[in-house]
Structure 1
Amino acid sequence: MSLLTLGLLYRSVFAAPDTAAAWRALLATALGGAGRGPVLAALALVPVNWGLEAWKWHRLARHLEPVRFGRSLRAVLVGLTLGFATPNRVGDYAGRILELKSRRVSALGAVFLGRYCQLVATVVAGGAGLLYFLLTFYLAGYPAAQLGVIVTAVVVCGLVLVPLYRSRLLVAALGLWRPLRRFRPALAVMPTYPARALHAVLALSGLRYAVFCGQFLLLLRAYGVGTALGPGLAAVAGTFLFKSLVPSLNALADVGVRELSATHLFGLLGQAPLPVLSASLSLWVINIALPSAAGLLLVPGLRVWRGRSA
């Protein structure tokens, strides 16, 4: 499916001579003209983005064992690299767990907790973004339906917080279904995190989400996409939500999901697909591809490889 999606994107955008020429012109404008400043600003936010993720993991991991921030940053970059080609980025779990000295089963639950906090930020912001499009483009003139979707959005946003602050219920529910019982030992660490730690991790997740949105908006500006700030943020939030909810085989699959979502939502705002697609691809390159390449340099130093060498 992911290869089919990428193939359709290639045929519709890059293979056609006219659009290929237009894309080259867009790149020249973004990298060498008026768009250079926004592109450089988006690049400058890459260390902030992954620094926040490393800080979040540091906050979670130190609950299990003493850990320095440098090791947390290393674990995040290695996990990003290992997760690049694994289904649903499960390699991200391995990269972080292997950097710990002990309690690796509990570390699995800690990684899940961090990813779930990021999902909460994505669902809350993305729900608000999609709500804007539903009320503006699909349900205008239907007040009862509008009220229904507003109530539904509020309920969903409330429900996603339940497993976070009532994690004992989640652990107990896993015991009711035999195929999921194997995850109980790992997720049993979640109720041991105090509310203050959860608040901090959620705040860091929200900050990282804001950085992602800022990068996307800067790149959209660099490629000449002109939308008002509110609708533009709604489209960006909706795009991130679609990408998070669709399972992927690897990081490349995320490209197709995000690009199709972005072009559709920004298309509703009257924007041409090519600049939006270029901005979305650039976001993936600077935030995923380049840091994954950097993390590749750290993989040979993993403790598991050092142990095998010894």
Structure 2
Amino acid sequence: MQKKHLARQLKVLLNYVLGPLLFIVLVYIIYKKVETQPDLPQKLEVLKSSFSSKNIWKIVSLFLLLCLNWSIEARKWQLLMRPVEKVNFITAIKAILSGLALSLFLPNGFGEYPARALYMKEGNRLRSVALNVAGSMAQLIVTLVVGTTSLIYLKTFAWPKFEPLEGLSVLWLNGIISMIILGTLILLITYFRLSWLTRLAEKIPFMLRYKYLIENVEAFHWKELTRILGLSFIRFIVFAVQYMVVLHLFEVKIDAVDAFCTTSVLFLFLAILPTIPFADVGIRGQAGTQLFGLITPDAFGVIATIAVIWFVNLIIPSAAGSLFLLGIKLFKRGDKQNNKKS
């Protein structure tokens, strides 16, 4: 009886104390990120002037693309979780946005994994992590392939008089491209051989006790993996188009192909470089001004574009995700019974 009482108290603590505290902390982090933006008053003035009737279609399209972006990610997560548990689309959306909110705590988006797992049944939460990793691999592969192709294009055609980026010579750039291509090939082979690698890992004595965590990865056929890769590619295109829409909104004079390729290279660098949550927007701004500075002198328009994309794609969804986290029951009645039935 005493153990049951302690378990009940733990559930109350986690569900009704930790949840609200997490929400408060997340809101505070979001506020501090917005407050510490450089030249914030000027950005706000530019934003105000952009909200005119002639630009309404651009603003609407930006938010429609935002919805499409995270809807694609939610659908991808549904497919990834299918070997473990069937998840409806609304739950998938909540999981994706909650993961985005919690990723503000940890570098390189690692907060997504535990937050998304909270929307699975208790017995399936750890099992879902390996499947989430497969989804991240797919998105990274697309970023590497499109980003590297764009980098080669820009280096060959858009940067005929290439000037070093912070001491980065042409020789170093070629070396980086070669290393990225090699890494992409290794990652691509690994991705399509996940089931084989999983079976191989299960034969290792040390891994036997953790077999249940990775065995569901074996369920993925190359067709499902290709489908997930396709959704990742569509999401990448949507994200890049968002940048192009906002660049046009702030009247940054840049060719559409160059804009797409430079945005793709920006995604590539952000995917490769380790990021710190509190410095994320600063890193994006610095990398963006360096890259776009090779094809346009409008540094302010570029910075404003990156700030708006960051706010629309990260802050707004994170705020929604923090509300969803507030309503999560970390331990739910009936979960254990459902797991036994399944």
Give the TM-score taking structure 2 as reference length.
Answer: 0.73
2 CA distance for matches of 1:117 and 1:269?
30
Summarize deviations over 1:75-110 as a string: whole Å, max 9, x none: 112222222222333221112112111332221101
8 A Cα contact 2:74 2:92, kept in partner: yes
Q: Which residue of 2 aligns with 1:3?
A: none
Partner of 1:85: 105
Superposed CA RMSD in Å reads 3.4
User: Residues 305 and 265 of structure 1: is their aligned pair in 2 closer, same or farther, counting only changes over 3 Å?
Assistant: same
Which of 118, 125, 129 lines up with 1:98 in the alignment?
118
**Paired residues of 2:97 and 2:318 also in contact (CA < 8 A):** yes
Q: CA deviation at 1:284?
A: 1.0
Q: Go from structure 1 to structure 2 and tell me whether the alpha carbon gap of 1:127 and 1:183 turns closer, same or farther (over 3 Å shift).
A: farther
Q: Which residue of 2 aligns with 1:205?
A: 232
Partner of 2:23: none
Choose the corresponding residue for 1:260, options 286, 300, 325: 286
Percentage identity across paired residues of the two chains: 26
Is structure 2 residue 164 aligned with structure 1 residue 137? no
Question: CA offset at residue 156 of structure 1?
Answer: 4.3
Listed as ranges, the matches of 1:14-29 within 5 Å are 14=39, 21=42, 23-29=43-49
82-91 or 180-189: bigger deviation: 180-189
Alpha-carbon distance, 1:37 to partner: 2.6
CA contact (8 A) 2:148 2:177 kept: no
* Count, aligned residues: 290
Given that 2:144 and 2:180 are in contact with CA atoms closer than 8 Å, whether structure 1 keeps it comes out as no
> Which ranges of structure 1 fall in alignment gaps of 5 or more residues?
1-5
Correspondence for 1:245: 272
Report whether the alignment pairs 1:226 with 2:247. no
Deviation at 1:187, TM superposition (A): 4.3
* Other-structure match for 2:218: 191
> 1:123-145: per-residue Cα shift (whole Å, max 9, x none)?
111111221233243787xx999
TM-score (norm 1): 0.80
2:135 paired with 1:118: no
The one-letter code sitting in structure 2 at the alignment partner of 1:303 is K
> Structure 1 CA distance, aligned partners of 2:233 and 2:183?
18
- What residue identity is the alignment partner of 1:79? G
Q: Distance in 2 between matches of 1:73 and 1:29?
A: 32
CA–CA distance in 2 between the matches of 1:206 and 1:74? 22
Contact 1:246/1:257 (CA < 8 Å) preserved in 2? no
Q: Structure 1 194/187 Cα, relative in aligned 2: closer, same or farther at 3 Å? A: same
1:198-242 alpha-carbon deviations (Å, 9 max, x no partner): 111111111111110111110111011121111111110011111
1:59-78 to 2 correspondences below 5 Å: 59-78=79-98
> Corresponding residue for 1:58?
78
In the aligned structure 2, how far is the partner of 1:83 from the partner of 1:195? 29
Query: Aligned residue for 1:275?
Result: 301
Pairwise CA distance, 1:192: 2.7
CA positional deviation for 1:27: 2.2
Name the stretch that deviates more: 40-49 or 28-37. 28-37
Q: Is the 8 A contact 2:198 2:215 kept in 1?
A: no
Give the Cα–Cα distance (whole angstroms) in 2 for the partners of residues 213 and 74 of structure 1.
24
Larger Rg: 2
Q: What residue in structure 1 maps to residue 322 of structure 2?
A: 296
Q: Once the 2 structures are TM-superposed, how far is the Cα of residue 267 of structure 1 from its aligned partner?
A: 0.6
